[in-house]
Amino acid sequence: MKLYVNERSGNSYKPRLLLSMLGVPYETIAVDLAKREQKQPDFLKLNPRGQVPALDDAGTVIWDSTAILVYLARKYGGDAWLPVQPEPMAKVMQWLSFAQNEIHYGLQFARAIQHFGRRGDLEECRAYGRTALAVLQGHLANHPWLALGRITIADIACFPYVAMAPDADIALDEYPAIGAWTDRIKAQRGFIPLAAIKKGVA
């Protein structure tokens, strides 16, 4: 299994974290975004969107971090990480959608604007990101995990850019339930740190 990633990418980190928690071996293929390796023909054969991550599992190629999480969860984690029954599956999927909307357009974009030269309205993205954090704080104040009372790919999908919110100068001090949740994730067997999370800079 080969996973094409960039170490500063929160989306790349999501499948890396899940694979580590599942104990599944894989080979990391580094993609240099500064050199635009993700836009080169060989990589575009894996992911026509020209983005990391991309997964090649013995010829089965999956791109997009959410799709990769779903694939890995079902193949290697079973119901523990992504149930197949309608209600619990939907409870996980709604947070995957949240990660690709409020977190993506808020926290992720704010970090990218501040550190990677992405075009956009930084303050608007920060405001959207704070809205996402308020939703998470409200939920986590009464639930240890985002779905089903246990860690699932819902938590993996939302964790990186929430934990890296300080990279966009969005302090997490006023969100104690989020802080407790990130601590619970970090305490899980197989947790691996992301450099940006530890250093607080991209």
Say if residues 37 and 45 touch (Cβ distance below 8 Å). Answer: no
Classify residue 150 by its DSSP letter. Answer: S
Which range (14-18, 66-70, 116-120, 127-131) has the least confidence?
116-120
pLDDT at 80 exceeding the cut of 90:
yes
CATH number at residue 133: 1.20.1050.10
User: Which tens digit of pLDDT belongs to each residue from 37-64?
Assistant: 999 999 999 999 999 999 999 999 999 9
Mean pLDDT value across residues 19-29: 98
CATH of the domain at 46: 3.40.30.10
C-alpha to C-alpha distance for 61 and 43, rounded to whole angstroms: 11
**Whether residues 139 and 158 fall in one domain:** yes
Q: Give the confidence band of 201 by pLDDT, cuts at 50, 70, 90.
A: very low
CA-based end-to-end distance of the chain: 27
Please check whether residues 89 and 186 belong to one and the same domain. yes
Q: Do you find a cis peptide bond into 41, omega within 30 degrees of 0?
A: no
pLDDT, residue 196, reads 55
Q: How confident is the model at residue 117 (pLDDT cuts 50, 70, 90)?
A: confident
Mean pLDDT score of the chain: 93
What is the span of the domain harbouring residue 32?
2-77
Q: Which of 19-23, 162-166, 194-198 has the highest mean pLDDT?
A: 19-23
For residues 67 and 110, state if they share a domain: no
Measure Cα distances from 201 to 22, 40, 110, 125, 173 in Å. 28, 28, 13, 18, 17
Which is higher by pLDDT, 118 or 113?
A: 113
Residue 24 shares a structural domain with residue 119: no
Which residue, 54, 77, 100, sits at the end of a domain? 77
Determine the pLDDT at residue 200: 38
For residue range 148-171, list pLDDT tens digits in order: 999 999 999 999 999 999 988 999
* DSSP tag of 74: I
Structure confidence at residue 6 (pLDDT):
92
Task: Using a pLDDT cut of 70, give the percent of the chain over it.
Answer: 96
Mean pLDDT value of segment 169-176 = 94
Report the number of distinct structural domains present in the chain. 2
For residue 202, pLDDT beyond 60? no
Q: Is residue 70 domain-shared with residue 88, that is, in the same domain?
A: no
CA torsion 144-146-147-152 (nearest 10°) is: -90
Are 111 and 72 found together in one domain? no
